[in-house]
């Protein structure tokens, strides 16, 4: 993709179909993603309503990465609408395997942290990552995330093997 431009922006309604497709694809492609099957099996209608709820929220955002016409990466920040944890943004990030190694996850993370710092609401970002996914852990550390805890049996592979999962966070001031 040497000649192609990467564009990072907030997900729009017309991204719904691409987003649903990407989520199904990344879950099938890698065992690194720790997710509920329900989240990864989103219909286009569900993706539209998901994108809309993010657009209407002050402390949530869904960022997408496009290469040409293709939606190839997503970074979602979820937060409680109110209450004692509404300052916490929970990050989910995924990039299509074909585009691994080009720094797309890092572009998305950069945009996400910038958004959080300007949100006026988010004071903590958190994420979970399988301990064995060393590349990802290293990238998160580069962005200032630190390991706060290790969740034993925090995930399980398709073969039934239990995995340690890191809980990582970054304070936003």
Site residues (CB under 8 A) for its own copies? 31, 33-38, 40, 80-88, 123-124, 126, 148-158, 162, 167, 169, 171
Number of neighbours of residue 114 by Cβ within 10 angstroms: 10
Nearer to its own copies, 134 or 148 (CB): 148
Nearer to its own copies, 21 or 151 (CB): 151
Quote the least distance from Cβ 150 to its own copies, whole Å: 6
Quote the least distance from Cβ 10 to its own copies, whole Å: 23
Contacts of 42-46 with C-beta under 8 Å, sequence gap 24+, read 44/16, 44/17, 44/20, 45/16, 46/20
Nearer to its own copies, 138 or 158 (CB): 158
Please answer whether residues 47 and 74 qualify as being in contact, where contact means their C-beta atoms are separated by less than 8 angstroms: no
Please answer whether residues 25 and 94 qualify as being in contact, where contact means their C-beta atoms are separated by less than 8 angstroms: no
Quote the least distance from Cβ 2 to its own copies, whole Å: 34
Please answer whether residues 13 and 66 qualify as being in contact, where contact means their C-beta atoms are separated by less than 8 angstroms: no
Quote the least distance from Cβ 34 to its own copies, whole Å: 5
Quote the least distance from Cβ 102 to its own copies, whole Å: 26
Please answer whether residues 74 and 61 qualify as being in contact, where contact means their C-beta atoms are separated by less than 8 angstroms: no
Dihedral sign, Cα of residue 138, residue 147, residue 35, residue 75: negative
Nearer to its own copies, 63 or 155 (CB): 155
Nearer to its own copies, 69 or 84 (CB): 84
């Amino acid at each position: 993709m040497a000649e192609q431009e990467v564009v990072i922006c907030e997900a729009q309604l017309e991204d719904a179909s691409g987003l649903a497709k990407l989520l199904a694809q990344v879950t099938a492609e890698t065992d690194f993603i720790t997710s509920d099957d329900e989240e990864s099996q989103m219909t286009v209608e569900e993706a539209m309503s998901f994108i809309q709820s993010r657009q209407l929220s002050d402390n949530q955002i869904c960022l997408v990465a496009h290469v040409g016409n293709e939606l190839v990466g997503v970074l979602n920040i979820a937060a409680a609408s109110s209450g004692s944890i509404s300052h916490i943004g929970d990050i989910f990030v995924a990039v299509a395997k074909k585009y691994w190694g080009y720094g797309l996850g890092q572009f998305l993370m950069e945009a996400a942290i910038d958004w959080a710092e300007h949100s006026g609401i988010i004071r903590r970002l958190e994420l979970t990552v399988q301990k064995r996914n060393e590349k990802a852990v290293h990238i998160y550390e580069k962005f200032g995330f630190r390991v706060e805890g290790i969740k034993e049996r925090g995930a399980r592979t398709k073969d039934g093997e239990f995995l340690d999962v890191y809980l990582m966070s970054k304070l936003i001031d």
